Amino acid sequence: AAPAAETPAAPAAAPASESVQDIHVPDIGSSGKAKIIEILVKAGDTVEADQSLITLESDKASMEIPSPAAGVVESIAVKLDDEVGTGDFILKLKVAGAAAPAAPA
């Protein structure tokens, strides 16, 4: 097969344009921990920017933690009922470069 991947204007995103981001709990406003009451994604799921990943519940409120970017969930480091705080690692997200969203199947 010809090395078509070397064509700079290839319409498909080259694998080199992907990066894996570690997603952490953002500042949840309290110094304490919050319990994970819902995990809304699983490994292999495609997520959009701002799509909710997990739901946390603290003494005062429950909140959904959104994805900072669109991508594919590579692995999840937390489980239901885990206690997490600001900065704790949640999951790995494979983020494509400036790739257009895939057409619906």
Question: What tokens were used for 6?
Answer: 């070397």
Which residues neighbour 64 within 8 Å (Cβ) at sequence distance 6 or greater?
40, 52, 53, 54, 55, 56
* Among 36, 14, 20, CA closest to 73: 20
Q: Give residue 7's pLDDT.
A: 44
User: How does pLDDT run across 5-32, given as a tens digit for each residue?
Assistant: 454 444 444 455 789 999 999 998 776 8
What's the mean per-residue pLDDT of the chain?
84
The matching CATH number, chosen from 1.10.10.10, 3.40.50.10420, 1.20.140.10, 2.40.50.100, for 18-95 is: 2.40.50.100
